[in-house]
Chain A
Amino acid sequence: MDLVATILVDGLIYAGWLFIVSVGLTLVFGVLNILNIAHGSLYAIGAYASATLVGIYFANGGDAIPWGSYAALILAAVLVALVVGPILERGLLRFFYGRDEVLNVLVTYAVFLILEDVMKLIWGVNPYFVYEPYTLLGDVEIGPLFYVGYDFAVIAAAIIVGLGVWLTLNRTRMGKVVLAVIHDSEMSQTMGVNVPRIYLGAFMAGTFLAALGGALTAPMISVTPGLGVNVIIVAFAVVIIGGLGSVPGAAIGALMVGISRAASVHLLPEAELFIIYFVMAVVLMFRPEGLFAKTQARKI
């Protein structure tokens, strides 16, 4: 019984993190039809930016109000979205809209390679540590087990992000326009929607979510080069399981992957590194386009 509870809690924590890092990926794919490998780099940039900002915060007397470091984390993600988002979308990706999906994967792969080294140029190769925000929330005791409070904050953040994205898409005018663009961008354009602006907005939102994932993760780890490499692969798996472009799909995918991985860690540690791909392969066997994908017959 304890084992089941442990797996569930660990799984939920991991799922929360997974959802934050993958929801932006699926959103960007839904709108721009680009599977963005550089999403992993944006995550890493978010981590570096937040490590830097939090470091600056504490170096300038932040110790008096340590809670302010959370604002610094979020500010870091916003800054990344405002700076890097437009550079990539306006400067590069917009020239590839409507091109072959696989070709666009390669374009973003190139961006990924470039950003990997750019990060090294900016932040160097030595690790950054910002543990303060991680310890602020203390520990949480569940039965015989202790968890770091911050881990639960990640779950809360995931729920807030999920609700935020869902409400924005379904309950605001702008969100409905975005859904219309996802459904049929050509039609939306003829109906007077400023599609390029929606694309830019969606990409910046995706960038923000990737960077937020990195920013929230930074206090839990040492921020080092190569951070984005593995993130992108698990995020891919999550959004493919859920169905590319589906926000609820990303949530379900994150839960499936999170809990499977937690189960694997506790029951079959040898499988930990590939359980994600195993789940993905099984899902695709039965649902070739993922769980929530809209399949549409081609008119002939």
Chain B
Amino acid sequence: MTRSLTLSAAAAFVLLALGALVLPDWAMFLFAMALAKGLVCLGIVGMMRGGLVSFGQGLYYCLGAYTATLVANTFGVSDIFLLTVLSTGVCLAVGLAFGPLLASYRGIFFAMLSLALSMVLYGSLSKMSFIGGTDGLNIAAPTFLGWAPEGRALQTALYLYVAVMVVIAGTLMRIYFDSEQGLIALAARDNELRVEYLGASVRNVNTYSYVFGAVLGGIGGTIAVLALGHVDPEFAFWTTSGEFVFVAILAGYLSVPSVFVAAIILEMVRSFSNLYFPNTWQLALGIFLLIVIVVLPDGLGSLVRRRKGDAT
């Protein structure tokens, strides 16, 4: 880990932590949700570096959220750390099961198969009335190693928790992107044949990024359900996954912080649109997406980070 990365991580945390002091309640909630979703999107960005786009990341977002909720409601666990570890573990296991299968597919086929998996989860959960069916489930507020805050303190604690997760996950993913494996992933996106003829397995490369995406999806889902206090099958619906892809495209695959900036932009646009143009929010989103695709094909990240010789 280089000094500049350590410094960036520290700066990012300080910046996010400052938010806890200055943000009003509604904004803190909005930011916490945006950062939690940003974690899911970071997973998609990881796959994008290898040339894959998952249209079904809602699978892990939903799986993480339901696991946390079921564990909390069944076993009375409320500790946020334990819930995160457990639901991430479940997502890791599912990711390890599906990753090698999906990693053989490319382009549209990968996108659609990942989407199909998330829709299977959506369909199953909708039909399972014993865990709420389409109504979903509620989850109690989390505790933090025995501490059970309420009101503003709870909001702040959750926000700081997601901030810590974002900084850790962001730093680790940056290290991965810059690593030898990360470089091979970029090469695989570019010319799979070359990579295979150098003796590396493109399928393995894709499996790694898929599994990382599953883990990040699980963390994001856990935090989101704890912030919302409620989960329903919509977490796995394809339009939810579509928004994650939207954020990933807006961010581009060059810069990690831009993923979270993009997630925050989306949440802000959404809440303002809901307030002022409740019937044209998707219209705005669609036009916004087209503009991004045309004007910023490499995403927000390309504004701060260029991808030529000096990418260190």
Determine whether A and B are in direct contact in the complex, meaning some CB atoms lie less than 8 angstroms apart. Answer: yes
> Are B108 and A117 closer than 8 Å at their CB atoms?
no
Minimal Cβ-Cβ distance residue in A for B48: A102
> Are B279 and A284 closer than 8 Å at their CB atoms?
no
> Are B105 and A110 closer than 8 Å at their CB atoms?
no
Task: Return chain B residues, CB-CB under 8 Å to A115.
Answer: 286
> Are A114 and B282 closer than 8 Å at their CB atoms?
yes
Minimal Cβ-Cβ distance residue in B for A113: B286
Cβ of A97 to closest chain B Cβ, rounded Å: 14
Task: Return chain B residues, CB-CB under 8 Å to A113.
Answer: 282-283, 285-286, 289
Minimal Cβ-Cβ distance residue in A for B55: A105
> Are A278 and B105 closer than 8 Å at their CB atoms?
no
Task: Return chain B residues, CB-CB under 8 Å to A285.
Answer: 101
Chain B, range 265-311, C-beta contacts under 8 Å to A: 279-283, 285-287, 289-290, 293
> Are A236 and B112 closer than 8 Å at their CB atoms?
yes
1/0 contact string of A24-37 vs chain B (CB within 8 Å): 00000000000100
Task: Return chain A residues, CB-CB under 8 Å to B286.
Answer: 109-115, 117
How far, in whole Å, are A101 and B101 apart by their CA atoms in the complex? 21
Task: Return chain A residues, CB-CB under 8 Å to B202.
Answer: none
A109-B286, A273-B122, A274-B119 are known; give 4 further A-B pairs, CB within 8 A.
A110-B286, A270-B124, A284-B113, A288-B109
> Are A101 and B108 closer than 8 Å at their CB atoms?
yes
> Are A237 and B127 closer than 8 Å at their CB atoms?
no
Count of chain A residues with a beta carbon within 8 Å of a chain B beta carbon: 43
Minimal Cβ-Cβ distance residue in B for A236: B112
> Are B293 and A110 closer than 8 Å at their CB atoms?
yes
> Are A106 and B127 closer than 8 Å at their CB atoms?
no
Asked whether any CB of chain B lies closer than 8 Å to the CB of A298, the reply is yes
Minimal Cβ-Cβ distance residue in A for B283: A117
Task: Return chain A residues, CB-CB under 8 Å to B193.
Answer: 298, 300
How far, in whole Å, are A233 and B285 apart by their CA atoms in the complex? 20
User: What does DSSP make chain A's interface, helix, strand, loop or mixed?
Assistant: helix
The residue from B120, B249, B293 contacting A278, defined by CB atoms under 8 A apart: B120
> Are B293 and A229 closer than 8 Å at their CB atoms?
no
> Are B113 and A273 closer than 8 Å at their CB atoms?
no
> Are B119 and A102 closer than 8 Å at their CB atoms?
no
Most buried by A among B104, B105, B293: B293
A sample of 15 cross-chain residue pairs with beta-carbon separation below 8 angstroms, ordered by A number, consists of A35-B108, A102-B53, A106-B245, A107-B290, A110-B285, A110-B286, A111-B290, A112-B286, A113-B282, A114-B282, A117-B280, A121-B279, A233-B119, A270-B124, A273-B122
> Interface residues, chain B, CB within 8 Å of chain A?
53, 55, 101, 104-105, 107-109, 111-113, 115-117, 119-120, 122-124, 126-128, 193, 238-239, 242, 245-246, 249, 279-283, 285-287, 289-290, 293
Most buried by B among A106, A112, A278, A300: A106
Chain A, range 87-140, C-beta contacts under 8 Å to B: 92, 101-103, 105-107, 109-118, 120-121, 125
| Contact A280/B289 with A105-B111, A244-B108, A273-B126 known, Cβ cut-off 8 Å | no
User: What does DSSP make chain B's interface, helix, strand, loop or mixed?
Assistant: helix
Task: Return chain A residues, CB-CB under 8 Å to B283.
Answer: 113-114, 116-118
Cβ of A110 to closest chain B Cβ, rounded Å: 4
How far, in whole Å, are A118 and B287 apart by their CA atoms in the complex? 12
| Contact A289/B293 with A277-B117, A277-B119 known, Cβ cut-off 8 Å | no
Asked whether any CB of chain B lies closer than 8 Å to the CB of A47, the reply is no
How far, in whole Å, are A288 and B203 apart by their CA atoms in the complex? 14
> Are B107 and A101 closer than 8 Å at their CB atoms?
yes
How far, in whole Å, are A118 and B155 apart by their CA atoms in the complex? 37
Task: Return chain B residues, CB-CB under 8 Å to A271.
Answer: 123
> Are B109 and A114 closer than 8 Å at their CB atoms?
no
> Are B105 and A288 closer than 8 Å at their CB atoms?
yes
| Contact A233/B238 with A103-B293, A240-B112 known, Cβ cut-off 8 Å | yes
> Are A274 and B245 closer than 8 Å at their CB atoms?
no
Minimal Cβ-Cβ distance residue in B for A240: B112
> Are A102 and B108 closer than 8 Å at their CB atoms?
yes
Chain A, range 162-219, C-beta contacts under 8 Å to B: none
Minimal Cβ-Cβ distance residue in B for A244: B108
Cβ of A155 to closest chain B Cβ, rounded Å: 26
Task: Return chain A residues, CB-CB under 8 Å to B242.
Answer: 109
Most buried by B among A113, A121, A240, A278: A113
> Are B111 and A281 closer than 8 Å at their CB atoms?
no
How far, in whole Å, are A274 and B113 apart by their CA atoms in the complex? 13
| Contact A229/B290 with A105-B111, A273-B122 known, Cβ cut-off 8 Å | no
| Contact A107/B281 with A101-B108, A270-B127, A300-B193 known, Cβ cut-off 8 Å | no
Chain A, range 241-279, C-beta contacts under 8 Å to B: 244, 269-274, 277-278
> Are B282 and A117 closer than 8 Å at their CB atoms?
yes
> Are A106 and B249 closer than 8 Å at their CB atoms?
yes
Cβ of A226 to closest chain B Cβ, rounded Å: 10
Task: Return chain B residues, CB-CB under 8 Å to A272.
Answer: 123, 127
Minimal Cβ-Cβ distance residue in A for B249: A106
Task: Return chain A residues, CB-CB under 8 Å to B108.
Answer: 35, 101-102, 105, 240, 244
Minimal Cβ-Cβ distance residue in B for A289: B109
The residue from B104, B112, B113, B281 contacting A117, defined by CB atoms under 8 A apart: B281
